[in-house]
Chains A and B, each alone.
Chain A
Amino acid sequence: MSFEDDLIALLPRLRRHALARTGHLAEADDLVQAACERALQARRQWREGTRLDAWVLTILNNVCIDHARRRQTRGTEAPMEELDAVPDTNWSRSVEARITLEQVLGVLAELPDAMRAVLSLVAVEGLTYEEASNILKVPIGTVMSRLSRARIELMRRLGSDGGQVMNGAWS
């Protein structure tokens, strides 16, 4: 397999990650394209035998951060410290199965980008905390506390959308 074939095989994962970060498919595809261009230009920096997915996700993370900076003035997301407390809500497998990608993206859009990044890398892409820590260049402890916070926010907000009550897991 050539380098390009390996990149092509990664496209679905890159696209999921970029979509989690931007919320819009066409925009996500643009970011993936930019990341692929950078990866192709820097291909000599990738050492054979190391993981290409982690390397390209690192590039994509940088592209996403640059992109977020460029459009910062339009952002509606809450800063990490100022997230509203959302009432506890109920949860059930039947609610869970009906959740759509649009709903999830709607909630992700309200979270800080740093939270979207860990949710995508660990919960969606299944990377380890250590791998996510290397990609995002933050300590593992930070990955874990962000991830915990992000998941609680995600579930509360999804739950409150559905108008259910979440059993007071955190009461």
Chain B
Amino acid sequence: MTAGGDEASATDLALMALADGELSDAEAERLRAAMAADPSLARRYELYAASRRVLRQAFAQLDELPASPRLLASLRREQAATLAPRVAPRRAVFALAAGLLLTVGLAAWFGQQAQRSHDASVGTQLARESGAVAAALEHLAAGEEARIGDGAQALSLMPLASYDGGTAWCREFEARRVSGDDALRALACRDAAAPAWEIREVIASTAAPEDSGSEFRPASGERPAVLQGRPLTPEQERAAIASGWPRH
């Protein structure tokens, strides 16, 4: 067998099946006897067994990361509303070029959104409540929820994860209409030069393609680079919140 694409031999597949616990006792015993007599078989077996160990060991490292609070929250919400009929999604009028937002502060950005659209989109609603939004981003841990606004327009805002962006602190958050399916996910950052939360990018929203229903659609382009890194652990995040997101 070579990496070039030859079919694996029956012996190779049997060795792999042994490493994966797929053989009967009798088959396994016969193969182990053959391996004892032929070191090349033993080496090939070891490669299959080692690959299994490597993968498990590597993916076990994932367990050290915090679970996605967004997922937990959406499942809990589902649980609470099992019998409530799903509200048909209102199509938020809320498309924007992510690049435009880079230097715009939170209040300014939200203000523009409010002027641009007069509908009841999540973005517009956030704009009207920019103070409450900033406070939530400043103080809530990932997975905690704040109610923004009230009545039919009320939103639930939840930070999802926090990142150390080197020169800035960044938080991914989700804002979701309490009484509907409209939602928006965005990245807000706060850097030393301007210690206020500002929106850097809208990552996904329920606005857009005609048939998208209430499923999240990513905004165009790559995910922001900061989100490719590891999120802060809950301890690191707690420390950052407690000390007011200190200067780097």
Same assembly: yes
A→B interface (CB under 8 Å): 2, 4-5, 7-8, 11-12, 15-16, 19-20, 24-27, 29-30, 32-34, 36-37, 40, 80-81, 83-86, 91, 96-97, 99-101, 103-105, 119-120, 122-124, 128-129, 144-145, 147-149, 151-156, 158, 166-167, 169-170
State how many angstroms separate the Cβ of B237 from the closest Cβ of chain A.
16
**Chain A residues whose CB sits within 8 angstroms of the CB of B22 once the complex forms:** 128-129
State how many angstroms separate the Cβ of B120 from the closest Cβ of chain A.
23
Number of interface residues of B (CB under 8 A): 55
**Chain A residues whose CB sits within 8 angstroms of the CB of B161 once the complex forms:** 26
Interface: B20 (CB within 8 A): yes
Interface: B105 (CB within 8 A): no
Interface: B57 (CB within 8 A): yes
Do residues A145 and B13 form an inter-chain contact, with CB atoms below 8 A? yes
- Additional 20 contacts, C-beta under 8 A, given A19-B62, A36-B74, A170-B1: A2-B79, A4-B76, A15-B62, A16-B59, A19-B59, A30-B204, A36-B71, A96-B54, A99-B57, A100-B58, A101-B58, A101-B61, A103-B58, A123-B51, A129-B22, A145-B13, A153-B3, A154-B51, A154-B55, A170-B47
Instruction: For the complex, give the distance between the alpha carbons of A5 and B82 in Å.
Output: 13
B→A interface (CB under 8 Å): 1-5, 7-8, 12-13, 16-17, 20, 22, 40, 43-44, 46-48, 50-59, 61-63, 65, 67-68, 70-72, 74-76, 78-79, 82, 161, 172, 204, 215-216, 218, 223, 227-228, 230-231
Do residues A96 and B57 form an inter-chain contact, with CB atoms below 8 A? yes
Instruction: For the complex, give the distance between the alpha carbons of A19 and B58 in Å.
Output: 12
Q: Which of A124, A128, A148, A154 is the most central at the interface, judged by chain B CB atoms within 10 Å of its CB?
A: A148
Main secondary structure of the interface of B (DSSP, over half): helix
Q: Which of B58, B67, B223 is the most central at the interface, judged by chain A CB atoms within 10 Å of its CB?
A: B58
Do residues A148 and B16 form an inter-chain contact, with CB atoms below 8 A? yes
Do residues B71 and A149 form an inter-chain contact, with CB atoms below 8 A? no
**Chain A residues whose CB sits within 8 angstroms of the CB of B52 once the complex forms:** 123, 151
Instruction: For the complex, give the distance between the alpha carbons of A91 and B239 in Å.
Output: 41
Do residues B59 and A30 form an inter-chain contact, with CB atoms below 8 A? no
Do residues A151 and B51 form an inter-chain contact, with CB atoms below 8 A? yes
**Chain B residues whose CB sits within 8 angstroms of the CB of A155 once the complex forms:** 47, 50-51, 54
**Chain B residues whose CB sits within 8 angstroms of the CB of A11 once the complex forms:** 67-68, 71-72
Instruction: For the complex, give the distance between the alpha carbons of A22 and B2 in Å.
Output: 27
State how many angstroms separate the Cβ of B203 from the closest Cβ of chain A.
8
Do residues A169 and B63 form an inter-chain contact, with CB atoms below 8 A? no
Instruction: For the complex, give the distance between the alpha carbons of A104 and B227 in Å.
Output: 19
Do residues A8 and B50 form an inter-chain contact, with CB atoms below 8 A? no
Instruction: For the complex, give the distance between the alpha carbons of A105 and B62 in Å.
Output: 12
State how many angstroms separate the Cβ of A27 from the closest Cβ of chain B.
7
Supply 12 A–B pairs (Cβ within 8 Å), ascending by A: A5-B79, A26-B223, A30-B218, A32-B68, A33-B216, A101-B61, A129-B17, A149-B8, A152-B47, A156-B3, A169-B47, A170-B1
